[in-house]
Structure 1
Amino acid sequence: MIVVTAPTGDIGSQVLHGLLDAGEAIRVIARDRSRLPADVQGRIEIVEGSHSDGTVLNRAFDGADRLFWLVPADPRAASADAAYVDFARPACEALKQSRITHVVSISALGRGWLKNAGHVTATLKMDDMLAATGVSYRALACASLMENVKRQAGLIKSQQAFYWPFPQDQAEPTCATRDVAAVAVDLLKNPTWDGFAEIPMLGPEDLSFREMMAIASEVLGQPVTYHEMSDEDLRGMMLKRGASEGMASAMVNMMVAKKEGMDHLVPAEDRSNNPTTFRTWCEEVLRPAVLAA
């Protein structure tokens, strides 16, 4: 039995479908079962509630041996530590009392970065805490996700513009959520691994935002111009949308660390686990999103 958290999110839903296609027995933790597709609900066990709740976790972990762990975004949390470390504390206690032996978690690049990198620093603390329970643990250390571009599909369609606080000519790794989910599914289907390790999710290539928007322009058949925001613009935008001061600062700190080279700490030696190019992603994910915006 595999427990899947965040089963209605972008990555979690793809992990859920991949495991179902493989014939695995699945139990999900979901705040609202109505958000799960009707054709899926009859094929899985559902425990309603939050996976920050120890009682919910104990029910979900009963009889299970594997876990897919993903912390949902919470921009209103008091801080990044509250959003990740404190959120995961009940899971640590529940894991110690369960029969779960293998955990796959969605994490971030940045191991070895010495400055505060906001979300990344908190995520790595969470990884260490969960791994310390004694389970075999694989952290999928993600670069920035291509899906971050999709979040601005409406602006891309209406204003032919994309806004982000990053130098336009600085090349960075990016990965597609489909590739991250595929690696998670493979690890959960084949739990022959042990110990604690990180698996870098770097995508197949490093691209600058200038290059990415040029590709998007070609695929969409319309110009898409990149606009570099300031860090303070990002902070202000998050606060205006309801984020806490702590989470807005965490986002800014993460972006500063990325600009200073955090995502290049891992040598890009083997990228075969992330085959989706940005062009393919634009053709198959971004273009439909922009057309529907």
Structure 2
Amino acid sequence: MIVITAPTGNIGRHLLSGLLTSAPAAGEELRVIVRDPARLPDEARGAVDVVTGSHADADVLDRAFDGADAVFWLVPPDAALTPHDAYIGFSRPAVKALAAHGVGHVVGISALGRGTALADRAGIVTTSLAMDDLIAESGAAYRALACASFFENFLEEADSIREHGFFTDTVEADRKAPLVAVADIAAAAADLLLDRSWTGTGSIPLLGPEDLSVNDLARIMTAQFGRPVRYERQALDDMYTTLVGYGLNEAFVQSIVDMKRAKDEGLDAGITRTPETTSPTSFEQWCAQVLKPAVLS
């Protein structure tokens, strides 16, 4: 039995779709934890066991982890909370439930940065790494998928690109860094969940096929969309003021700013790209298939 948390989110929906195809052939049953079962895809209905509720709830986890062999663990960021409460507090009931039910394997979503000089001052990333350490205490074999920044983050810029011809971030325009598609993250998670020959704890970086700067991304978008797209850099102080103005928790906003600062200082650099750390989808492919329809719609 494989349990999937956040099955209707960006990563979870790709994971669920892939496992609905591959799990039966491997003799695996699927169970999902979901707040609103109506959001599940039609193909999941009747094909998966559904536990309704939040995976922060100890009673929900007790039902969901009963008889489970493996768990996909993803914490949906909650900007109304402090980073500690949003990640560590959220995950504590899961650690207890994993140990109580003897779940053997857990695959989690985390971030690049472990072992770097910036890891202890990288905001949300620092908290994510602490969450990994907490889950490792459950006794389950654990693999943290240490993800680069997501291509999908640029979907939040689709309106700006369409209406004004630019997107924003806070990084230096020519700093190259890895980026990854969420579908590739889901595929890596599926492989680990289905082949549980691995033991112990560790992390697996997912870097995408190449490092790109935001200027590179603007150039690719321009070619894909047939119209000029430029990058405009936002100051970290301006980002902080904007996000706090939306009513987000100030400590959570500061952790976002700290992460952005660390990334601009090279947090994601230095990981060797190998066949194991290189995911296949290029930004050009993703841009053509996902971002271009969103921008040109």
Contact 1:183 1:273 in 2 (8 A): no
Match of 1:104 among 104, 107, 111: 107
- In the alignment, the residues of structure 2 paired with residue 287 and residue 272 of structure 1 have an alpha-carbon distance, to the nearest angstrom, of 27
1:177: how far off?
A: 0.6
Does 2:290 align with 1:281?
Answer: no
Instruction: Tell me the SS of whatever aligns to 1:139.
Output: strand
Of 267-276 and 113-122, the range deviating more from structure 2: 267-276
Does 2:161 align with 1:156?
Answer: yes
For residues 94-133 of structure 1, what are the structure 2 equivalents within 5 Å? 94-114=97-117, 115-133=120-138
- In the alignment, the residues of structure 1 paired with residue 236 and residue 204 of structure 2 have an alpha-carbon distance, to the nearest angstrom, of 29
1:265: how far off?
A: 3.8
For residues 236-255 of structure 1, what are the structure 2 equivalents within 5 Å? 236-255=241-260
For residues 1-293 of structure 1, what are the structure 2 equivalents within 5 Å? 1-22=1-22, 23=24, 24-77=28-81, 79-114=82-117, 115-270=120-275, 273-292=278-297
1:267: how far off?
A: 2.4
Of 18-27 and 6-15, the range deviating more from structure 2: 18-27
Contact 1:26 1:45 in 2 (8 A): yes
- In the alignment, the residues of structure 2 paired with residue 209 and residue 150 of structure 1 have an alpha-carbon distance, to the nearest angstrom, of 14
Letter in 2 for 1:76: A
1:38: how far off?
A: 2.7
> How does the TM-score come out when normalised to structure 1?
0.96
- In the alignment, the residues of structure 2 paired with residue 94 and residue 241 of structure 1 have an alpha-carbon distance, to the nearest angstrom, of 35
- In the alignment, the residues of structure 1 paired with residue 258 and residue 212 of structure 2 have an alpha-carbon distance, to the nearest angstrom, of 22
- In the alignment, the residues of structure 2 paired with residue 271 and residue 208 of structure 1 have an alpha-carbon distance, to the nearest angstrom, of 22
1:209: how far off?
A: 0.3
Contact 2:204 2:277 in 1 (8 A): no
Letter in 2 for 1:223: P
Q: Which runs of 5+ in 2 are unaligned?
A: none
- In the alignment, the residues of structure 2 paired with residue 87 and residue 37 of structure 1 have an alpha-carbon distance, to the nearest angstrom, of 26
- In the alignment, the residues of structure 1 paired with residue 58 and residue 113 of structure 2 have an alpha-carbon distance, to the nearest angstrom, of 29
Taking every aligned residue pair, what percent have the same amino acid on both sides? 45
- In the alignment, the residues of structure 2 paired with residue 241 and residue 179 of structure 1 have an alpha-carbon distance, to the nearest angstrom, of 31
Instruction: Tell me the SS of whatever aligns to 2:3.
Output: strand
Contact 1:172 1:208 in 2 (8 A): yes
Q: Which runs of 5+ in 1 are unaligned?
A: none
Contact 1:66 1:103 in 2 (8 A): yes
- In the alignment, the residues of structure 2 paired with residue 215 and residue 242 of structure 1 have an alpha-carbon distance, to the nearest angstrom, of 34
Provide the alpha-carbon RMSD of the alignment.
1.2
Instruction: Tell me the SS of whatever aligns to 1:97.
Output: helix
1:233: how far off?
A: 1.5
1:39: how far off?
A: 2.9
Of 35-44 and 164-173, the range deviating more from structure 2: 35-44
1:204: how far off?
A: 0.7
Instruction: Tell me the SS of whatever aligns to 2:121.
Output: coil
- In the alignment, the residues of structure 2 paired with residue 37 and residue 178 of structure 1 have an alpha-carbon distance, to the nearest angstrom, of 16
1:152: how far off?
A: 1.1
- In the alignment, the residues of structure 2 paired with residue 120 and residue 145 of structure 1 have an alpha-carbon distance, to the nearest angstrom, of 14
Of 171-180 and 34-43, the range deviating more from structure 2: 34-43
